[in-house]
Structure 1
Amino acid sequence: MIFRNCAGGVVFSKGKVFILKNDKSEWVLPKGKIRNGFLPPETAISRVEYETGVNAKIVSTAGETCYEFYSFTRNQAVYNKITWYIMESNDENYCVNLEEGFKEGGFYPIEKAIEMITHSQDKSLVSLSYRKYLEFKEYEKEKMYA
């Protein structure tokens, strides 16, 4: 079995979240393998930008997910552990990286995105991350007026 450490972002902008449709027609969140001594937050930021063209900053941690799949090209099982970050973009400009096999993507209203997302743990991740993101924004607003 191959073990891979990955990092990704749950990117919010103006009440919407960014999701991608991959080469298997699954709606997913942007993520990638941690390489070359990079830290998880660095990987999350760079993979979000690489896969989506979105310039986003990390506002908080979101947690971890894990899953296994069988890779026919490697002829063995792969175990992915993903460290997730709640991220924010100030605009909704994006450019889906079609060369990486993504078919489409964009910022979608939270409820619609949760319906579209393929995997249940990603649905839960978006839901919990959005609640945490709203708490962060409320705290930020209170600090501004204090």
Structure 2
Amino acid sequence: MPRRRSRTTGPSVPADCPCGSGRTYTECCGPLHADTSRASTAEQLMRSRYSAFAVGDLVHLRRTWHPRTCPPDLQPDTATTWTGLEILAASEGTPFHREGTVEFVAHYRDASGPGRMREHSRFVRHEGAWVYLEALTD
């Protein structure tokens, strides 16, 4: 994946958005990471958070995590490379809702090889913006 320099999220970001939208990073998640735009839906925030993990943007992750549930010691996992995102389902979470959920599979590669993480995430509005609250358990 071609990469280019960025002033907003670290030394380099991908040309294509890691969230899998098919758009460029600067058209998709880049403005959310740069804090020049806000997510209008819970799914858009989920995609931007996945991309933030992929490019190592801890500032965006912390900013979009509900203060009640954000871990104080948030650190990047430099041994993990995020390789793809599949959105399985989204419920509510539109510009007209106060809560929403997104179920997804995040693909990655680490020292053990390829893997996948499946999660059903809950998002809420906090101070007018979508934030990640928690992973739901079945």
TM > 0.5 fold call = no
- In the superposition, the TM-score normalised over structure 2's length comes to 0.26
Structure of greater Rg: 1
- In the superposition, the TM-score normalised over structure 1's length comes to 0.25
Identify, as 1 or 2, the structure richer in helix. Answer: 1
